[in-house]
């Protein structure tokens, strides 16, 4: 005589709830099939969890590798500029004129600008009388200028830099005094006149 396996509430199809009105019975073959299906689902769940954990580890290591590759690319473009500085500093200064020295510095600056352009870095160089844009310019002071409209750029102290539409550093500018300029602080925020 074959012993029938003990049935749990889950095996009875009641999800853990007991009911006195109906009872489900399984043949030993059906019961064995259910156990195999349960084991298969458990194995699938464990494999899916392991795959997820492996994907997280891969993503983390790929992120680190990608960051490292990005740094290497930037340095690969910048190091030649450093080499040019070293060559300039090793020159015999007694035989160089001021013009030759300035020309060498200009060549190095062009090399650095080319390296930055390789990474889509653009210079923010506003023109005189351009409207002041607080998202791309930083007002450092007010300075009147002939023919400059009030609240417009009257001089540029330092260019700014951006990657696409994202500003890395705003251009440092002076703006012509006037109603608009008087309502600006150095960060470009509108100040109340209270």
| Predicted confidence band of residue 179 (pLDDT cuts 50, 70, 90) | low
Q: For the chain, what is the mean pLDDT?
A: 84
Q: What pLDDT is attached to residue 83?
A: 92
Sign, Cα dihedral of 156, 158, 162, 167 = negative
Query: 23 pLDDT band (50/70/90 cuts)?
Result: confident
Q: Quick check: 4 and 32 in contact, CB under 8 A?
A: no
pLDDT of residue 6: 54
Q: Which pLDDT band, with edges at 50, 70 and 90, does 191 fall under? A: very low
pLDDT band at 188 (very low <50, low <70, confident <90, very high): very low
Is 60 exceeded by the pLDDT of residue 111? yes
Q: Nearest to residue 107, comparing CAs of 93, 88, 90?
A: 88
Whether 193 shows a pLDDT value over 70: the answer reads: no
State how far the Cα of 29 lies from the Cα of 24, in Å rounded to an integer.
14
pLDDT at 172 over 50: yes
**SS3 category, 40:** helix
Find all residues with CB under 8 Å of 88, minimum gap 6, and list them: 101, 104, 105, 108
- Percent of the chain residues topping a pLDDT of 90: 55
- Set out the domains of the chain in order of their start, with CATH numbers: 26-119 (3.90.20.20), 122-189 (2.30.22.10)
What confidence score (pLDDT) does residue 91 get? 84
Kindly give, in sequence order, each residue whose CB lies less than 8 Å from that of residue 177, ignoring residues fewer than 6 positions away.
Answer: 142, 143, 144, 150
Q: Is the pLDDT of residue 20 over 80?
A: no
DSSP reduced 3-state for 20: coil
What is the mean pLDDT of the segment spanning 67-89? 90
């Amino acid at each position: 005589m074959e012993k029938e396996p003990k049935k749990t509430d889950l095996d009875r199809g009641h999800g853990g709830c007991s009911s006195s009105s109906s009872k489900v019975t399984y043949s030993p073959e059906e019961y064995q099939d259910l156990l195999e299906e349960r084991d298969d689902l458990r194995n699938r769940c464990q494999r899916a969890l392991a795959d997820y954990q492996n994907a997280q580890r891969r993503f983390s290591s790929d992120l680190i590798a990608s960051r490292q590759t990005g740094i290497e690319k930037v340095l690969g473009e910048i190091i030649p500029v450093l080499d040019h500085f070293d060559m300039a500093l090793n020159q015999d200064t007694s035989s160089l004129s001021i013009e030759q020295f300035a020309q060498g510095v200009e060549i190095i600056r062009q090399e650095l600008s080319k390296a930055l352009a390789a990474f889509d870095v653009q210079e923010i160089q506003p023109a005189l009388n351009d409207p002041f844009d607080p998202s791309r310019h930083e007002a450092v002071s007010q300075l009147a200028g002939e023919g400059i409209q009030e609240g417009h750029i009257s001089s540029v102290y330092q260019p700014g830099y951006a990657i696409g539409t994202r500003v890395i550093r705003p251009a440092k500018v002076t703006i012509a005094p006037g109603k608009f300029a008087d309502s600006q602080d150095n960060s470009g925020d509108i100040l109340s006149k209270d």
